[in-house]
Amino acid sequence: MDAASGLCVGCLRTLDEIAGWAAATDEQKRHILAAVARRRARRTDEPMADEGSA
Amino acid sequence: MKLPLPPQIRVIERGWLSANNILFHEGTEATLVDSGYLTHADQTLALVERALEGHRLVRLINTHSHSDHIGGNAALRRAHGCRILVPEGMAPAVADWDEDALLLSSAHQQAEPFAFDATIAPGDALEMGGIRWQALAVPGHDMHALAYYAPAERILISGDALWQDGFGVMFAELHGDPSGLPAQRRTLEMLRELDVGVVIPGHGAPFADYQAAVARALARLAAFEQSPERMAKSAMKALFTFTLLEKRRMPRAGIGDYFGRVAIFRDVSKNFFHQEPAAVAALVIDELIRAGVLIEQDGDLLARGH
């Protein structure tokens, strides 16, 4: 997890989003994936965090 | 779709680098099945802490010894003081921390040594979440793997022996032991006879279409039996994707050398493809990029999504 953003550095989801994934509806999963796509787009110009903890 | 699992069972669905974690509330205590990959250990601790909801983690049980299932064992034991129970077949490799037998060194993967308190044998009965489970031998992907089956509730914890679409890599075959595919066939034919309503797999969401999943797995196995090359190519793609999920990104220009250095890639290139590791690396990368699994960015390869 990235301490500053609170996101998993691999999948760009918050802990809440990961914890709730198995119980989420398809609609909720689509919402999360759309948010992940926005986060990924925002980060493309930034260097990727490189610490081991994903 | 949310499947009807008993409320005391919490499935923490992870990705491919970490296997799913299955938490059972038991009065004031709790039991966990499988612990994810080492580099995810902090995330695993946080997810388990949240799912515990104040229960005390007293037991951790593994389905098999692979790095994506045992990587959080040491950290969970440090944090919770839980007992650890492992399938008896994997116990010697864990006790001696044999990085070859645990497939760590040969696949360039990591795990942290851990101590265990007891072993589980095929046929053993155990209780998790107030439910009676039978330990079933499910050799194939891992020759010592166990699945856990609750006949009354019709739930199967399948590990990597059966997924909704397939099963885990046939490591024994890749390492030159021809008993892997026949074992996986016996395992799937045994599983086919079970009455199962919901499967909680090692990776992917819990699913209900049990007989269809077993049929898909048997069809894939038949294809592998007919064509070892196909099995090997499928395995190389899965293993290299796992590698990239772990390393996050790797310079594309160095992958050929990497395949030459890491035993499983080098040996499978030689024994199944009869080609130089670099040539196999190029083939694997091309197919994974075309399938949208990997992307190239500034000369580096990255795995897409999680």
Angle value at C-alpha B33, between B20 and B293, nearest 5 degrees: 20
Contacts of A5 in chain B (CB under 8 A): none
Contact between B233 and B279 under an 8 Å Cβ cutoff? The reply is no
Chain-chain contact of A22 with B1 (C-beta, under 8 angstroms): no
Say yes or no to pLDDT of B1 above 60: no
Percent of chain B with pLDDT over 90: 96
What is the chain B residue with the closest CA to A49? B248
The rounded distance, in Å, linking the Cα atoms of B105 and B298 is 29
Contacts of A10 in chain B (CB under 8 A): 15, 17, 245, 248, 306
Percent of chain B with pLDDT over 70: 99
What is the chain B residue with the closest CA to A52? B39
Chain-chain contact of A21 with B245 (C-beta, under 8 angstroms): no
Tens of pLDDT along B26-35?
Answer: 999 999 999 9
What number of C-beta contacts closer than 8 Å exist between A and B?
52
Q: What is residue A53's predicted lDDT score, i.e. its pLDDT?
A: 37
Averaged pLDDT, B133-149:
98
CA B85 to chain A, closest CA, distance in angstroms equals 25
Contact between B141 and B127 under an 8 Å Cβ cutoff? The reply is no
Chain-chain contact of A18 with B206 (C-beta, under 8 angstroms): no
Angle value at C-alpha A25, between A24 and A28, nearest 5 degrees: 80
Percent of chain A with pLDDT over 90: 26
Contact between B229 and B284 under an 8 Å Cβ cutoff? The reply is no
Identify the H or E element spanning A33: helix A26-43
Q: What is residue A41's predicted lDDT score, i.e. its pLDDT?
A: 82
Choose between A22 and B74: higher pLDDT: B74
Q: What is residue A45's predicted lDDT score, i.e. its pLDDT?
A: 45
Which of B186-225 are b and which e, b meaning 16 or more Cβ less than 10 Å from the residue's Cβ? ebbeebeebebebbbbbbbbbbeebeebbebbbebbeebe
Q: What is residue B305's predicted lDDT score, i.e. its pLDDT?
A: 61
Tens of pLDDT along B238-293?
Answer: 999 999 999 989 999 999 999 999 999 999 999 999 999 999 999 999 999 999 99
Chain-chain contact of A19 with B47 (C-beta, under 8 angstroms): yes
CA A31 to chain B, closest CA, distance in angstroms equals 15
Tens of pLDDT along B48-75?
Answer: 999 999 999 999 999 999 999 999 999 9
What confidence tier does B225 reach under pLDDT thresholds 50, 70, 90? very high
Q: Name which of A15, A22, A50 is nearest B205 (Cβ-Cβ).
A: A22
The label of the residue with tokens 């994997």 reads B90
Query: Residue A14 gets which letter from DSSP?
Result: B
Chain-chain contact of B1 with A13 (C-beta, under 8 angstroms): no
Say yes or no to pLDDT of A48 above 50: no
What is the chain B residue with the closest CA to A6? B43
Residues contacting residue B302 through CB under 8 Å, at least 6 positions apart: B244, B248, B249, B294, B295, B296
Q: Name which of A10, A15, A21 is nearest B245 (Cβ-Cβ).
A: A10
Say yes or no to pLDDT of B22 above 50: yes
Q: What is residue B306's predicted lDDT score, i.e. its pLDDT?
A: 47
The rounded distance, in Å, linking the Cα atoms of A13 and A6 is 8
Contacts of B43 in chain A (CB under 8 A): 1, 8, 15, 18, 53-54
Say yes or no to pLDDT of B228 above 70: yes
Q: What is residue A6's predicted lDDT score, i.e. its pLDDT?
A: 86
Q: What is residue A44's predicted lDDT score, i.e. its pLDDT?
A: 56
